[in-house]
Structure 1
């Protein structure tokens, strides 16, 4: 493995860690580590017609699609996702309030980071509807528990939407899974090595990447401010879904009698600090 390929693999590892947690965008990690343009450009080359290059031989197909880069990145991301998923499954099973408090801090600052990129006009015009939509979605229970083919379609659709969010800096793919009520089931599938569910999710993600990469690039280039305004509101509304203090799944205010109050507040601050560090690194990378 060359140094360059190893470096891409390590970047993928960091992106995998990030995408396992709502609030941190894998796209942001790609931007911070200097591979975002290559990533989006490489994904944009993937289209059904481009597979016709296989007639010219595997080498031509491989080089045209920059598959050395994609495979190295994918291996790193898979390792990062597996490691972080194991940790999150354990914490969510034993101390859910602590896990959600850290994720709430991440998401809170990530929302502020997107808001800072948005103009006040669009925050008002589209941020408010986005906030309302986020609150409505977050106050629900997500997609209903289903089995069989309906479950497969839910995972496929969730993967498609999550991948679309994944390549936008500042928007987390895991955040989309939280909104859909698929975050815990997907973590469980990773933990249990449920290859059937993971294959369907991966297929949805592949479709999402191929369909969205060019569209998102065009949309962000021509309608960036309206998109950011709506996404800011949506993310703000979705914070209700991550609120760590709950009684029978209903969000409540913390009390002084809560034995985990200090730890929960501390992890919220820690999550916010981690997101602030990533946002600062992202701004520095964008300027350089």
Structure 2
């Protein structure tokens, strides 16, 4: 039963990562596996293989992959044919996802202005970064795909940040989604390699 639940949890995270504005890390927090997943990833990177919960990682990963490949075609078509509607939905997802990390702050700490200053500083930083949003890249080269994946995957590790939103900022969201839905093996493999490097770095 736990393996089936982990499969579903992985699918929820994968589905979240397909949608700009929804953070896979935030979903992992909500369903209660964020710290466990981070702990196992750390053990993998440190090559402490005997301490890794392999079945946990396998079923979470399988669920994520199934959701990404199963839903990418649907979401790609929806975004392409309903640009304003899809981006309005993404904006709503961003707004509601703010509540999740905020609700996890201790009530006593919510009265401390220091934490609001941290939140404001990060909001200003992200506002400046998103101001450099690129136009959609129609035919990205594989090196740029690698770099985009390495940057976007970092958002999966940080609750509140959306990997798909990072891809959208870089103009790579629709090209990557299209590559997955059309099973463009070269782009998928390069993206996976970039994501792996990004995870190790972060």
Q: TM-score range, shorter-chain basis?
A: 0.7 to 0.9
Q: Does 2:79 correspond to 1:92? A: yes
Q: Structure 2 stretches of 5 or more lacking a match?
A: 106-113
CA-CA distance at 1:124 after TM superposition: 4.8
SS at 1:46 equivalent:
helix
SS at 1:107 equivalent:
helix
TM-score norm. by structure 2 comes to 0.84
Give the aligned partner of residue 2 of structure 2.
4
User: Considering only aligned residues, what root-mean-square deviation do their CA atoms show, in Å?
Assistant: 2.4
Give the aligned partner of residue 205 of structure 1.
195
Pair 1:171–1:126, CA change in 2 (3 A): closer
Q: Counterparts of 2:100 and 2:56 in 1: how far apart (Å)?
A: 29
Tell me, yes or no, if the aligned pair for 2:138 and 2:175 is still in contact at 8 Å. no
Q: Structure 1 stretches of 5 or more lacking a match?
A: 54-60, 213-288
Give runs of aligned pairs for residues 126-141 of structure 1, distance below 5 A: 127-135=123-131, 137-138=132-133, 140-141=134-135
CA deviations on 1:8-64 (whole Å, 9 max, x unpaired) are 1110011111110011111111111111111000111122x62xx7xxxxxxx4x43
Give the aligned partner of residue 38 of structure 2.
40
Pair member with larger Rg? 1
Tell me, yes or no, if the aligned pair for 2:149 and 2:191 is still in contact at 8 Å. yes
TM-score norm. by structure 1 comes to 0.60
Q: Counterparts of 1:165 and 1:12 in 2: how far apart (Å)?
A: 16
Give the aligned partner of residue 180 of structure 1.
170
Q: Counterparts of 2:120 and 2:55 in 1: how far apart (Å)?
A: 44
Tell me, yes or no, if the aligned pair for 1:46 and 1:210 is still in contact at 8 Å. no
Aligned residue pair count: 193
Q: Counterparts of 1:130 and 1:95 in 2: how far apart (Å)?
A: 26
CA deviations on 1:137-185 (whole Å, 9 max, x unpaired) are 12x426x5555xxx11111111111111111111111111111111000
Tell me, yes or no, if the aligned pair for 1:17 and 1:83 is still in contact at 8 Å. no
Give the aligned partner of residue 76 of structure 1.
63
Q: Counterparts of 1:127 and 1:34 in 2: how far apart (Å)?
A: 25
Q: Does 2:25 correspond to 1:27? A: yes
Give runs of aligned pairs for residues 1-288 of structure 1, distance below 5 A: 3-47=1-45, 50=47, 61=49, 63-111=50-98, 119-125=115-121, 127-135=123-131, 137-138=132-133, 140-141=134-135, 145-146=138-139, 151-212=141-202
Q: Counterparts of 1:130 and 1:9 in 2: how far apart (Å)?
A: 32
